[in-house]
Structure 1
């Protein structure tokens, strides 16, 4: 029996601000700029949630024409998705590049948005960097924090009677038993972060080697 193909997700619905040219230019008024950061942060979280993007590459800029306001980066997701496919660079590029307007958010402004999210616990530079604009080129985007992923995993363990059961980390995110669970297809590193919170709370134990790690829930 052939399995049905994975349905194509609906296109992402950008907010109306995305279609205003000033949205891509850093506002000089502090109050207006803060409101701009809030809207960009919300957009990044919503976009990454929609496409199940866990990491964003902030560098790797594509060539751009010279302009006073629109030198920008191409953000390439480096993540596992629910259907095990990675969006093309075109898909990720549209987040910070509105081609219809011919406007891009500058790399410096992209980093400022990530830093804004970081202060709210919704982003983190890969490698643990926690300060400044030189903390790295790739950032976690936590549309669900590791603690929130841990809560989902713990709820699934309770609902399915998995306490005392040993599962490999691969089974947890790629196995048939978790298909349909929101954490199915979770980035392996983010899974480790989530499980780490359960270990600290003595709700789980991780053992084995990196390529064959298992977890037991209590």
Structure 2
């Protein structure tokens, strides 16, 4: 586990331009409910809110250590916030949903990727971009797919490298690309 701070493109902002749904201002929303049917609905609402928030900010990674202090998980007007255990329970729910909408980056469950699009949907986005920009047959580096001027404006810009590799695995399985190497400088050839 790295102790260095994450780049700004990997984490959600602490200031927020996101428009929250009405239930974000409902005090019981911040306490996980004991009734199973109510809890399932609450977890589903949190999952949808998290995915919408990450999509709005075009971010992908949630470090659990800072999550309770983020506007997403708190409401200063209500003086309410989710505790770390509740946030983990929500992420566990998201990780076991079909399809999964979150996944932990390691077994210690301290950081999660938020899948506001499924890996298959991301793969389709990248494949469309490759087609539209004439990149078939071209070898691009992982870095170029994540950060270069050519991809600026694309929703996946700044996606964590390991997350992007999971997306590319979808295209590999479909026979639409091949990945060469295991480091950031590795290449991807699209067919």
Q: Answer whether TM exceeds 0.5 for this pair.
A: yes
What residue number does 2:32 align with? 26
* Residue 75 (1) aligns with residue 85 (2): no
Structure showing greater Rg = 1
Structure 2 distance, partners of 1:118, 1:209, is 25
SS where residue 210 of structure 1 aligns? coil
What residue number does 2:3 align with? none
Structure 2 unpaired stretches of 5+:
1-14
What residue number does 2:91 align with? 114
Structure having the larger proportion of residues in helix: 2
What residue number does 1:125 align with? 104
Structure 1 segments of 4 or more deviating over 6 A?
none
Structure 1 residue 180: deviation in Å? 2.4
Structure 1 distance, partners of 2:182, 2:104, is 26
Structure 1 distance, partners of 2:144, 2:177, is 15
Structure 2 distance, partners of 1:55, 1:186, is 8
Q: Deviations over 1:123-147 (max 9, x none)?
A: 11112x4xxxxx5111111001222
Q: Deviations over 1:162-191 (max 9, x none)?
A: 111111111222222222222233222211
Q: Output the aligned Cα RMSD.
A: 2.0
Count of residues in Structure 1 that have an aligned counterpart in Structure 2: 175
Q: Which has the higher contact order (CA 8 A, sep 6+)?
A: 2
Q: Do the aligned partners of 2:146 and 2:157 also contact (CA within 8 Å) in 1?
A: yes
